[in-house]
Amino acid sequence: MDELKQKIIEIEKISSELEPSEKFRNDYLQHIHEYANSFINDLETAKVFSDGRSDRNVLSVGAGKISLPELIGVFKHEVAEKGINAASGSHLGYVPGGGIYMSSLADYLAAVTNEYAGLFYASPGAVIIENEILNWLKSVFGFPMSAAGSLTSGGSIANLIGLTAARNHHGIKSDMIPRSVVYLSKHTHHCIGKALKIIGLEDIIIRYSELDEKLRINAERLAGQIIKDKADGLNPFLVIATAGTTDTGAVDPLFDLGNIAAKHNLWYHIDAAYGGFFILTEERKELFRGIEMADSLVVDPHKGLFIPYGTGAVLVKNREAVTDSFQYTANYMQDSANAITDLCEPADVSPELTRHFRGLRVWLPLRIHGTEPFIACLSEKLLLAKYFRIRLSEIGFCTGPEPDLSISYFWYPSVSVDEDTYNRKLLELIHKDGNVFFSSTIINGKFVIRMAVLSFRTRLRTIDKAIEIINNIRLRLEREFGYK
Ligand SMILES: *Cc1c(COP(=O)(O)O)cnc(C)c1O
């Protein structure tokens, strides 16, 4: 016995290193705090893109122990300064992320307390916080309070959950798959296709809707297709609309599609991962009319609410349709059974059991700031997108149609070389420069440069800087390559 105790005491000397003393905690935090401050202070002048590779050897777990200040140096060089700087306001490509400071503090608190956010029994407070966020989302999007919901890691898992509910509600089992039909658009996000495949609907019939000139689903044509498919003995069961497509930020006609889905008894899923929160703005509220008709709805707080990466959300009106797939129990779970009735038990509406307390990173900023600065930020992005397009025209660029939201595209109408060649080269040089970041896409067969204004740090001066860079590179193309 004494020997056993002696052994335990000996080993504790090593294991207790995982619990640093207060002095060390203060010291470590100070290092992190200083680096975080300099990172934020330098963001305005730091590069937003660098195509340099990170050093695998230096980042290897096996590279040996290292002090925190040294590690911060490694992090700075090998992580923060490589690739896309997603925290930068000069990130105007893909769908820019957020990263508001208050969420980082919430994450710190969530990690230190390590609340178990999967079950009410384990952390009633964490589960209530998550439910209250979902309730707030329900009120924003006109959903009934009885709807189920989940905070997910992002839009992809949120879509997966919504589509699983659609499948369950319509009882799409193996024998029905080959004649069941889903309606979507070529501009539907690719995570929808991925989700359909994951949930066993790979062999479903997919009808790509006709689009109007602004790349939105033509509702009338879609209704016609449903009628035809029904007449042909098929089983239409799901309409998917997007409120803010990734390519051009287009909002499908939500109200019309909602009516069509209701009339034909189809599940109505809306992916508003990028665009959803613009409903909070007076200017665009009307565009979202009909969003309340959705059976399932996806939004991404890590996009339109400027939360750091790792937070999406799904709402589903029919609770049983979701829990049918996700509510499970087991002997080792018996203590927590039936702990709640009116709240949504997180583990019952998600593939996850143990989960990060991600509600706190949404709740804390909303409680501290209120919603007003979030809404102002969204309105600001709409105005900046508009301003950007005007400034681009002034320096001779063509821009895509007036966008519904804050994503648009542009290209230079070269007279000396093929337009695609010119714009590819232009983007290549913009990437090399690294002080502003855009991505590209293909619209109607044409290579175009995409601009997406969604970072809370994108300001008027950011757009002015971007215009200056684009124009300088345009002049350089003329000077060095003879491109006009
Ligand atoms: C970003 C996006 C997704 C995917 O969401 P993740 O959070 O990246 O998983 C899905 N749909 C749309 C419209 C998006 O913009």
Least confident range from 285-299, 339-353, 453-467: namely 339-353
- pLDDT, position 290: 98
Give the tokens for residue 309: 């990466």
- pLDDT, position 63: 83
Residue-wise pLDDT tens digits, 351-369: 999 999 999 999 999 999 9
* More reliable by pLDDT, 344 or 170: 170
Single out the residue of 262, 273, 319, 268 nearest to residue 158, CA to CA: 273
Model confidence at 82: pLDDT above 60: yes
Angle between helices 460-481 and 419-433 (to 10 degrees): 120
- Rounded to 5°, angle at Cα 98 from 438 and 382: 65
Torsions phi, psi of 170, nearest 5?
-95, 5
- pLDDT, position 324: 87
386 Rama sector, left if φ>0, alpha if ψ -120 to 50, beta otherwise: alpha
CB atoms within 10 A of CB 71: 12
DSSP E strands, 249-332: 267-272, 296-299, 312-316
336 pLDDT band (50/70/90 cuts)?
low
Return the ligand 1 atom nearest residue 189 CA: 11
Model confidence at 381: pLDDT above 80: yes
CB under 8 Å to 151, separation ≥6 — which residues?
A: 130, 133, 134, 301, 311, 312, 313, 346, 358, 359, 362
- pLDDT, position 288: 98
Q: pLDDT over 90 for what percent of the chain?
A: 92
98 pLDDT band (50/70/90 cuts)?
very high
107 pLDDT band (50/70/90 cuts)?
very high
- pLDDT, average across residues 444-466: 97
| Residue nearest ligand 1's atom 2 by CA | 273
Model confidence at 326: pLDDT above 80: yes
Cβ 162 under 6 angstroms from ligand 1: no
Q: pLDDT over 70 for what percent of the chain?
A: 99
Cβ 312 under 6 angstroms from ligand 1: yes
Residue type, position 264, single letter? H
- Which letter, b or e, does each residue of 92-128 get, where b requires 16 or more Cβ atoms within 10 Å of its Cβ? bbbbbbbbbebbeebbeebeeeebbbbbbbbbeebbb
- pLDDT, position 112: 98
316 pLDDT band (50/70/90 cuts)?
very high
- pLDDT, position 142: 98
pTM, two decimals, is 0.96
What's the half-sphere exposure (Cβ side, CA atoms, 13 Å) at 240? 28
Pocket probe for ligand 1: among 150, 246, 247, 450, the residue whose CB has the most ligand atoms within 8 Å is 246
Given a contact cutoff of 8 angstroms between Cβ atoms, the answer to whether 288 and 278 are in contact is: yes
The rounded distance, in Å, linking the Cα atoms of 404 and 276 is 12
The rounded distance, in Å, linking the Cα atoms of 78 and 72 is 10
Helical residues (DSSP H) of 97-175, grouped into ranges: 101-113, 124-141, 155-169
Q: β-strand 407-411 against 235-242: which pairing, if any?
A: unpaired
Model confidence at 332: pLDDT above 90: no
- Locus of tokens 């020997």: 3
Residue-wise pLDDT tens digits, 25-80: 999 999 999 999 999 999 999 999 998 889 899 999 988 899 999 999 999 999 99
The rounded distance, in Å, linking the Cα atoms of 34 and 44 is 17
190 Cα–ligand 1 center, Å: 8
66 Cα–ligand 1 center, Å: 37
- pLDDT, average across residues 439-468: 96
DSSP state of 61: G
Model confidence at 317: pLDDT above 60: yes
- pLDDT, position 338: 56
- pLDDT, position 417: 94
233 Rama sector, left if φ>0, alpha if ψ -120 to 50, beta otherwise: left
Pocket probe for ligand 1: among 186, 242, 300, the residue whose CB has the most ligand atoms within 8 Å is 300
- pLDDT, position 61: 92
Torsions phi, psi of 262, nearest 5?
-65, -45
Model confidence at 342: pLDDT above 80: no
Question: Average pLDDT, whole number, for the chain?
Answer: 95
Given a contact cutoff of 8 angstroms between Cβ atoms, the answer to whether 409 and 400 are in contact is: yes
Given a contact cutoff of 8 angstroms between Cβ atoms, the answer to whether 481 and 436 are in contact is: no
- pLDDT, position 340: 57
Given a contact cutoff of 8 angstroms between Cβ atoms, the answer to whether 132 and 139 are in contact is: no
* More reliable by pLDDT, 334 or 337: 334
DSSP state of 264: T
Give the tokens for residue 391: 């400034």
Model confidence at 337: pLDDT above 70: no
- pLDDT, position 341: 63
| Residue nearest ligand 1's atom 3 by CA | 155
334 pLDDT band (50/70/90 cuts)?
confident
112 Cα–ligand 1 center, Å: 29
State whether the Cα torsion 208-189-363-370 is positive or negative: negative
- Locus of tokens 């619990």: 19
273 Cα–ligand 1 center, Å: 5
Cβ 254 under 6 angstroms from ligand 1: no
- pLDDT, position 330: 77
- pLDDT, position 339: 54
Residue-wise pLDDT tens digits, 173-194: 999 999 999 999 999 999 999 9
The rounded distance, in Å, linking the Cα atoms of 335 and 41 is 49
What's the half-sphere exposure (Cβ side, CA atoms, 13 Å) at 77? 9
Model confidence at 4: pLDDT above 60: yes
Return the ligand 1 atom nearest residue 272 CA: 13
